[in-house]
Amino acid sequence: MAILVTGGAGYIGSHTVAELLDRGEEVVVLDSLVTGHRESLLGGKLYVGDLRDKELLAKLFAENDIEAVIHFAASSLVGESMKDPVKYYDNNVYGTQCLLEGMQKARVDKIVFSSTAATYGEPEKVPIEETDRTEPSNVYGETKLTMERMMSWFDKVLGIKYVALRYFNAAGAHASGTIGEDHRPESHLIPLVLQTALKQRESIAVFGDDYPTEDGTCIRDYIHVSDLADAHVRAVTYLRSGSGSNFFNLGNGLGFSVKEVIETAKEVTGLDIPVVIQERRAGDPAVLVASSDKARSVLGWNPSRANLKEIIRSAWNWHSSHPSGYGEA
Ligand code: NAD
C-alpha cells in the first residue's frame, strides 16, 4: 500500500518523500507544481495536478492502493493571505474538503496534516503548548485552524483519523545536499541571510532591534526540515497503530534570535552579511516558540538536528551548491 503526499514536490514535502523512501514506503505524490519543483522528488510516482480537481483525485485513488495521506499542499504566505483571503480559503480550506471527500469515497481513513503554529496567534505565554488558546492573527493561520476543525468533524462523523502537526519555521536541507529550500518569493530568514552571503541580495533587513529580548531582536523557532519529515512519518506510524486523532506542536522550545541567526550564518559561511535595521513590523511578537514535550512523549519524536549551527550548515551546503535553487525561472 502507498502513502499519498500532497504537496510532495514542495520544500517540506520533498524531504518527507525522501524520508518515506528511505524507510521503504511506496509513495504517490500529488502536486500542481505551483510552488513546488519536479526536481525535488527523489522518487515516488508523481501526479501533476490540483487538489481541487475531483476527477483527478478519484483517478489517483482508483489507480493506487492508498493507505494514508500526508497533506502539505497549501498556500502559506502570511502577507499574501492578508491581501487575497479568497485564494487562501479556496486553496487551503476547499482544497482540503476535496481531499477529504476523495478519501471518504476511496475509504482511506488516515491523514497527517501539516498545520502551523500560526493557529495560536499572539501567544498567551511561551513556549506555546497545545492546550493554549488558538486565535489566529492572519488569514493563513485561520484557514489552517479551519482545516484542523474540518478534520475533527470528518473524524467524528466519518471516522477519518488525523494527526495535525503545528510548527513555525522549517529550515535546513537534506543531508545529501541534493534537495533544499527554493521558495519564490523567499520569505524565510535563513535562506534570505544565505542569499545575502552569496551576494544575491544587498543586505538583510532586521525588523526592530529594541524588543525585550537579550539582543533586542525577535526570537523565533526553527526546526530542521528532516526532523519535521521524521515527525510526519512518526505520525503515520501513530495512526497505523490504531491511536485516535491528535495534534502536536513541533518546536525547539528555546528559539533563536534574528541576530543569532545572522551571526551563526557569518561563522558558517565565513562571508560578510550586511544588515540593515528597520522599524518593527506591525503584529510581530517578541518571542514565538513552541513546546514539543507532547510530541516527544507520545510520538517519541527526538529532533536530532536542533543545533542552530548544524541547521545553517545544512542549508548552506544546499544554497552554496545550488545558488539558483532548482534552476527554473
Ligand atoms: P511549499 O510551497 O514549498 O510546498 C507546498 C506544495 O504544495 C508545493 O509543491 C505546491 O506546488 C503544492 N500545492 C499548493 N497548492 C496545491 C494544490 N491546490 N494542489 C496541488 N498541489 C498544491 O511549502 P512548504 O514550505 O514545503 O510548506 C508545506 C506545508 O507546511 C504548507 O502546508 C505550509 O502551510 C506548512 N508549514 C510550512 C512551514 C515552513 O516553515 N515552511 C511552517 C509551518 C507550516
Q: What is the pLDDT along the chain (329 residues), one digit of tens a residue?
A: 999 999 999 999 999 999 999 999 999 999 999 999 999 999 999 999 999 999 999 999 999 999 999 999 999 999 999 999 999 999 999 999 999 999 999 999 999 999 999 999 989 899 999 999 999 999 999 999 999 999 999 999 999 999 999 999 999 999 999 999 999 999 999 999 999 999 999 999 999 999 999 999 999 999 999 999 999 999 999 999 999 999 999 998 889 999 999 999 999 999 999 999 999 988 788 999 999 999 999 999 999 988 999 999 999 999 999 999 998 53
pLDDT of residue 43: 97
Q: For the chain, list the domains and their CATH numbers.
A: 2-168+223-250 (3.40.50.720), 189-221+253-321 (3.90.25.10)
> Hey, how many other C-beta atoms are within 10 angstroms of the C-beta on 93?
17
- The reply to whether 140 belongs to the active site is yes
Q: What atom in ligand 1 is closest to the CA of residue 181?
A: 3
Distance 213 CA to ligand 1 centre (A): 31
The rounded distance, in Å, linking the Cα atoms of 329 and 318 is 18
pLDDT of residue 86: 98
Q: What is the dihedral of CA 82, 87, 89, 91, to 10 degrees?
A: -130
| Structural element, H or E, at residue 155 | helix 139-158
Distance 11 CA to ligand 1 centre (A): 7
| Structural element, H or E, at residue 67 | strand 66-71
pLDDT of residue 57: 98
pLDDT of residue 329: 39
Distance 322 CA to ligand 1 centre (A): 21
Ligand 1 and 77: CB distance under 6 A: no
Minimal-distance CA residue to ligand 1 atom 13: 73
The rounded distance, in Å, linking the Cα atoms of 240 and 234 is 10
Distance 16 CA to ligand 1 centre (A): 12
Q: Is the ipTM of this complex over 0.90?
A: yes
Ligand 1 and 120: CB distance under 6 A: no
Query: Whose grid coordinates read 476523495?
Result: 102
Distance 74 CA to ligand 1 centre (A): 5
Q: Which of 53, 72, 98 to mutate to test the pocket of ligand 1 (most atoms within 8 A of CB)?
A: 72
Ligand 1 and 248: CB distance under 6 A: no
pLDDT of residue 231: 98
> Hey, how many other C-beta atoms are within 10 angstroms of the C-beta on 56?
18
Q: Which of 11, 140, 261 to mutate to test the pocket of ligand 1 (most atoms within 8 A of CB)?
A: 11
Ligand 1 and 95: CB distance under 6 A: yes
Ligand 1 and 170: CB distance under 6 A: yes
